[in-house]
Structure 1
């Protein structure tokens, strides 16, 4: 049986300050994290925060562009207070809206569903990525509508585990916190 261990990257200043992410580093880099063991493959999103989290796990993970965070376009680095509230509301209620000029939610849902479809006979795979990618994987697994995207909370340094194969994934668990190694 295939198992995908989707690890949410560690916290960043953008998360702490309610800003849209840019390619910022982790706000606190753990020396080492204890993650899932006996893995057959390791992948990560291209962002610095994903690289640093993979490094803390001791993973030499391959960058997979399909695991990139939702592109927030012109909103990158800006706080919620700096965004036109009408545009923000449109973006959060219409999965096809992209008032920021970046990627609409529907596009990340499609991209991640396609990535899941390519995960046949992979064994046990560890992945470090963003909350948006993990949300999209959960929605694809459950066959949930795009409107449910904002109803899935993914915290930093947690693991969501999917089991199964192409077209038959199951959410085994979500929100399992990672621990610092030796702690």
Structure 2
């Protein structure tokens, strides 16, 4: 059984546009409009299985894209601990060393938060656990769509490519980016440039 997985980063939020670390923010009017406009260009298979991060912005993005998705905690954003909701400019002014470490060292974690390597392990386990649903055993390819966050998509790319974790700051994922992976019994997971 082959799997085609489309990872979609949630639509933009006011926090993203103002340089603030997310704090389970909802989509604002602009983000919602962007997600609704993307619905026309992102056509998912009618029988696709959909998953979504527990975050409000991800769930609202899934709805705007017309998806009925199952919430999966493995797709949650990276935990930013005490930095959640804070402006990056303020962190740079007050804790520049800690912020620099977090943005360059995959083992560094924000105060009380999760390092990139832990998020990478979490999404890697989720990817590797995706399997054929019993009622789809006869289908040739199963399509899965997951609405999640940019750091988790970075982590998934690193996992699938078998790349060193230290490359994570070199990967940019914009709101509503689609990253496609395919898994086959012969090759395992591979990255495919999405055609959206």
Given the two structures, how large is their TM-score scaled by the length of structure 2?
A: 0.84
How far off is 1:53 after superposition?
0.4
Q: Larger Cα Rg: Structure 1 or Structure 2?
A: 2
Which ranges of structure 1 fall in alignment gaps of 5 or more residues?
Answer: 178-183
- What is the total number of aligned residue pairs between the two structures? 176
How far off is 1:92 after superposition?
2.1
- Displaced runs of 4 or more, over 6 A: none
RMSD: 1.7
Decide whether aligned partners of structure 1 residues 133 and 165 sit closer, same or farther in structure 2, where only a CA change above 3 A counts: farther
Q: Which has the higher helix share?
A: 2
Distance 1:135 1:53 in 2: 19
1:114 equivalent in alignment to 2:125: yes
* 1:72 alignment partner in structure 2: 80
Distance 1:60 1:124 in 2: 14
Distance 1:45 1:106 in 2: 19
* 1:132 alignment partner in structure 2: 151
Given the two structures, how large is their TM-score scaled by the length of structure 1?
A: 0.90
The answer as to whether partners of 1:119 and 1:165 remain within 8 angstroms in 2 is no
How far off is 1:99 after superposition?
3.6
Q: Decide which moves more: 106-115 or 92-101.
A: 92-101
**Equivalent of 2:100, from 77, 84, 89?**
89
Which ranges of structure 2 fall in alignment gaps of 5 or more residues?
Answer: 134-141
